Copies of this chain bind each other. A is one copy, B any other.
Amino acid sequence: MVMNRKCILRLSRYKNALKRLKALGFVKVFSGNLADAAGVTSSQVRKDFSLFGITGNRRGGYKVDELVLRIREILGKNEIHKVVIIGIGNIGNALLRYKGFETGGIRIVAGFDIDPSRYQPERPVPILPLDEFRSYVESNEIKIGILAVPDVAAHHVSEIMIAAGIKGILNFAPIQLRGADDVVISNINLEVELENLIYFVNVADKSVPALVTEDD
């Protein structure tokens, strides 16, 4: 089965929307509801679902519970996924304390840094020396890591992560890291995102015609 990142991103958005609808007491949902929530067309929603063998009908819609269950299966969300963070600066520290993940079956289990002043081994979510990264990741079978170190260290640290067996990296360092054959890397560059907005706001001011923004 051929699948791409965008499709999986949409599934996650559908799931998040479904959790909210469920919280509001909805039992059934229609592709149009999810299209609104995910910012896509209804036909896109139905296309995505059919890709995973999820069926419903336009009149009856989909059962929220079944849909959540099925999407969680697809996204592998029926287990808790342990995630580590390297680089406990402003961003890393914020992610370490971020509560929003737990509900999604994602648990930040440890942070790592090279700065001894940041070590907090006794905390429930400990901050440990980078030297201990590999042994920790191996003994806890961690596959996902968040990289939040300065740009100059990012490439080197990503190699440490991959060498330790990390297969998925969410990179916040402002350089573009590329994955290997068996390693997926998502790059989140906040400066680039802001520059992107600034560009389009400026263009809008100057009202340059034919501005195309892709679905992201």
A residues near B (Cβ < 8 Å) are: 1-6, 8-9, 12-13, 15-17, 20, 37-39, 74-77, 81, 83, 90-91, 93-95, 97-98, 100-101, 104, 106, 143-144, 146, 151, 167-170, 174-176, 178, 182, 184, 186-205, 208, 210-214, 216
A1 with B208: CB separation less than 8 A: yes
Most chain B C-beta atoms within 10 Å of own C-beta, residue among A8, A15, A75, A198: A198
Closest chain-B Cβ to A73's Cβ sits at a distance in Å of 11
B5 with A77: CB separation less than 8 A: no
- How many protomers of this protein does the assembly include? 2
Given contacts A91-B94, A100-B191, A168-B201, could you give 20 more A-B pairs where the C-beta distance is less than 8 Å?
A: A2-B212, A4-B213, A4-B214, A5-B200, A12-B189, A12-B192, A15-B195, A16-B174, A16-B175, A20-B151, A39-B176, A91-B98, A100-B190, A144-B197, A167-B205, A170-B197, A184-B213, A186-B196, A188-B188, A216-B216
Cβ–Cβ < 8 Å partners of A104 in chain B: 191, 194-195
Q: List 11 A-B contacts (CB under 8 A).
A: A5-B214, A16-B189, A16-B192, A75-B199, A76-B202, A81-B194, A98-B190, A104-B195, A106-B194, A144-B197, A170-B194
Closest chain-B Cβ to A152's Cβ sits at a distance in Å of 9
